[in-house]
Chains A and B, each alone.
Chain A
Amino acid sequence: MRRPTLAALTLALAALASAPACDGAARPDPAAETAPAGERYSLYDLPSTWRDQDGAALRLASLAGRPRVVAMVYTNCHATCPLIVADLKRVEASLPAARRDAVGFVLVSLDPERDTPGRLAEWAARTQLEPARWTLLNGDADAVREVAAALGVRYQPEADAEGGGELAHTNVITVLDADGAPVHQQVGLGAAAAGTVDAVRRLLR
């Protein structure tokens, strides 16, 4: 690259122009679905340790072996997180019943202080997430920041008191293959979920 500064800025400004929307239908974005370019990499190389909704300690590498659909949410979220989960459930429902257990769904909490494993379990039950397929993860702030950095999720960790403790975050759903390599990413919600469904189906073929 001869003029990397300009190139980087152009990229950055392009990113500005395509700020992710919460509602894919209201804000169609032609760049909403992207296949990661370049070499393969695995999210499961992150060395951090987590606790799932049962309180069991685990590393991300233990999620290997089947495709996973990953998103970052928090249970106190009333704005878009229910929509993210609704999109993931649409993906789940779109799979033939016999193949559903071949896919895992992972929700990483953006709010580890409040989202204890107990709280995650309670919320998973209330939201009717099938325990055999859904893994909810609680990790420390640094581990959460690393996952977000790897997946391209942006969030502000400080809950805003005026907004009832809501965090600002972008809505990103990532499909990982059995090795933890991202094969598809959905930015924004709703209409864009069709691409996520296709990506999961391709992995199951």
Chain B
Amino acid sequence: MRRLAAVLALLALAPRAGAAADDAAGRRPGAEMVRLPAGTYRPLYGRPGDAPTAVAAFRLDRDAATRGEFLAFVRERPEWRRGAVRPLFADRRGYLADWAGDLDAGDATDRRRPVTGVSWFAAKAYCAWRGKRLPTVHEWEYAAAASATRRDAGREPWFVQDLLTRYTTRPRPLPALPAGAGNLYGVRGLHGLAWEWTADFNSVLVSDDSRGVGARDHDLFCASAAVGATDPGNYPAFLRYALRAGLTGRAAVETLGVRCAA
């Protein structure tokens, strides 16, 4: 087990020969996933005094999915092409809206940019097609809490400030991948590129009162699991949760992409 972990870690660190080039299917070669060890983290929403949330070991794509990779998916699964997708599964006003056509994801550089304008249903189907799945909110936030040197940097003022800066200065168009420095786990571009879907994006009930959990929250949600923010200072996390709270499964937003887990 230990040896396997070491091999995986080495694979994760190995330089990706030809990483910049798409293969014929639009898939990028190389070690695409990194392994994140089991651990705990403190979600933004919880009750004061809650034990940290445990996250089991999992693997996460090192980079967000690219347009080229998504193009390979829709080539094989025509029902997910822009002109064919069922409106239940994607709001066609936003779905792959920056593509020139059903099978035209742009030039070679464009095809290496993160794919955006994908709905949750499409993101979920894409990951399943890759033999993967969407990360849970806990997994995504756990990965995203790491700085380049610390597992849980979410309480570090400089880290929080850095994220705010990234969120407000995202390049447009998004750069070709790989882009962005890796965090402690080697995961790149979690904060500086697009927002990303999670499997249970609709699991979080956000209270409009972050001052604490009390009777008022019970009125709002009528369940004891209603939660308040444990760290009102973590504004970047508020933004992520607020975005999730505004989505439904068919929403296709120009700034929202996908990264798969396993």
Does A154 belong to the interface (CB within 8 Å)?
A: yes
| C-alpha gap A150/B248 in the complex (Å) | 6
- Closest A residue by C-beta to B239: A9
B residues contacting the other copy or chain, number (CB 8 A): 45
A residues contacting the other copy or chain, number (CB 8 A): 53
Query: Are B253 and A4 within 8 A (Cβ)?
Result: yes
Of A15, A80, A155, A162, the residue contacting B242 (CB under 8 A) is A15
- Closest B residue by C-beta to A26: B219
Assuming the A-B contacts A8-B255, A12-B245, are A80 and B222 also in contact, with contact meaning beta carbons closer than 8 angstroms in the complex?
Answer: yes
Does A113 belong to the interface (CB within 8 Å)?
A: no
Does B225 belong to the interface (CB within 8 Å)?
A: yes
Total A-B residue contacts, Cβ distance less than 8 Å: 140
| C-alpha gap A85/B250 in the complex (Å) | 27
Q: Which residues of the other chain, B, contact A114 by a CB distance below 8 angstroms? A: none
Q: Which residues of the other chain, A, contact B202 by a CB distance below 8 angstroms? A: 145, 148-149, 152-155
Among B86, B201, B226, which residue has the most Cβ atoms of chain A within 10 A? B226
- Closest A residue by C-beta to B119: A149
Query: Are B220 and A150 within 8 A (Cβ)?
Result: no
Closest-CB distance, A109 to chain B (whole angstroms): 15
Query: Are B245 and A160 within 8 A (Cβ)?
Result: no
Q: Which residues of the other chain, B, contact A45 by a CB distance below 8 angstroms? A: 86, 88-89
Does A108 belong to the interface (CB within 8 Å)?
A: no
Closest-CB distance, B38 to chain A (whole angstroms): 18
Query: Are A168 and B226 within 8 A (Cβ)?
Result: yes
Among A1, A8, A41, A46, which residue has the most Cβ atoms of chain B within 10 A? A8
Interfacial residues of chain A within 154-202, with CB under 8 A of chain B in the complex: 154-160, 162-164, 166-171
The 10 residue pairs across chains A and B that have the minimum distance between CB atoms: A163-B224, A149-B249, A12-B246, A41-B87, A168-B225, A79-B222, A22-B222, A168-B223, A12-B242, A15-B246
Since A19-B220, A21-B220, A149-B250 are in contact, a sample of 6 more A-B pairs with Cβ atoms closer than 8 Å, ordered by chain A residue number, is A8-B195, A146-B249, A148-B202, A149-B248, A155-B202, A157-B200
B interface residues, Cβ below 8 angstroms from A: 86-89, 91-93, 120-121, 167, 170, 195, 199-208, 219-227, 239, 242-250, 253-256
Sample (27) of A-B pairs whose CB atoms are under 8 Å apart: A1-B254, A4-B254, A8-B255, A13-B242, A14-B246, A16-B206, A19-B205, A19-B207, A20-B221, A22-B221, A27-B220, A39-B92, A41-B86, A41-B250, A45-B86, A45-B88, A46-B88, A79-B222, A146-B249, A148-B202, A149-B249, A152-B248, A154-B203, A156-B204, A158-B225, A160-B224, A166-B223
